[in-house]
């Protein structure tokens, strides 16, 4: 799904779904605490519903942000630079939409300019916006690439995310340390192996 379709889907969802009040959210947390077998009214848990809803506002702040607005401002003054622009080792903190468990890792994002460039912080910001939503790593990877592609119209985009999923580390098969790697290449970074190889060499190159 491209960025425009993603935004339309989000708007449609908001129209269909009435957001519960904070009190309703806190009541839901109390219900879950009781369901675990504990007493939500004991001293240590009395303020937990409030703390959890406040934490959720931070974890999922991406629903209230528009990546298109972040990427709206671009620059043409790049001194004729037209080679790879890359951000390496951007920290990723997100939550799996299947179990609400965190997945944590790093992202590497690059693009080939076509007359316009982005402020470097904008790339990290767009990644953060999508990560602060319920996600799959595959969708997150595609959304970041699609947003940059849509906003900048570059000659190509590359996104690689490597993350450990707590839904796999702490439950289920219980395999801590296993990393999931996802990629998305577009344009010349998809069709030209030399660009793609350079991107991967930069991803795995020495850290100074």
Annotated catalytic residue 175: no
The position carrying tokens 């468990």 is 101
Active-site residue, selected from the candidate residues 26, 137, 143, 149? 137
Residue 117 DSSP symbol: B
Catalytic annotation present for 95 = no
> 165 catalytic, yes or no?
yes
Q: Which of 162, 164, 166, 167 is catalytic?
A: 167
Residue 108 known to be catalytic: no
Q: Is 97 a catalytic residue?
A: yes
Query: Residue 68 — φ and ψ, nearest 5°?
Result: -65, -35
Work out the number of other CB atoms within 10 angstroms of the CB of residue 190: 15
Please tell me which residue in 54, 57, 69, 97 is annotated as part of the active site.
97
List 57, 69, 98, 204, catalytic entry: 98
In angstroms, rounded to a whole number, what is the distance separating the alpha carbons of residues 146 and 150?
6
**Quick one: tokens of 146?**
């699609």
Place of tokens 């190509």: 156
Q: What is the rounded radius of gyration, in angstroms, for the C-alpha atoms of the chain? A: 20
Query: Is 98 labeled as catalytic in the residue annotation?
Result: yes
Contact 157, 187 (CB under 8 A): yes
Please tell me which residue in 26, 96, 108, 135 is annotated as part of the active site: 96
Angle between helices 120-131 and 137-152 (to 10 degrees): 140
Which candidate, 180, 183, 203, places its Cα nearest to that of 104? 180
Residues acting as catalytic residues:
96-99, 137, 165, 167
């Amino acid at each position: 799904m491209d960025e425009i379709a993603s935004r339309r889907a989000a708007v449609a969802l908001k129209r269909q779904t009435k957001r519960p009040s904070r009190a309703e959210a806190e009541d839901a947390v109390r219900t879950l605490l009781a369901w675990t077998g504990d007493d939500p009214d004991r001293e240590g848990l009395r303020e937990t519903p409030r703390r959890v809803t406040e934490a959720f506002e931070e974890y999922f702040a991406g629903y209230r942000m528009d990546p298109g607005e972040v990427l709206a401002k671009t620059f043409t003054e790049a001194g004729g630079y037209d080679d790879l622009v890359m951000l390496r080792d951007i920290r990723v903190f997100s939550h799996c939409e299947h179990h609400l468990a965190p997945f944590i890792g790093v992202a590497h994002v690059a693009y080939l300019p076509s007359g316009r460039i982005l402020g470097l912080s904008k790339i990290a910001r767009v990644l953060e916006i999508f990560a602060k939503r319920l996600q799959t790593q595959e969708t997150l990877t595609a959304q970041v690439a699609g947003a940059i592609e849509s906003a900048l119209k570059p000659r190509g985009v590359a996104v690689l995310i490597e993350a450990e999923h707590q839904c796999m580390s702490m439950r289920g098969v219980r395999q801590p340390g296993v990393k999931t790697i996802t990629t998305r290449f577009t344009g010349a970074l998809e069709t030209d192996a030399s660009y793609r190889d350079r991107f991967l060499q930069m991803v795995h190159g020495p850290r100074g």
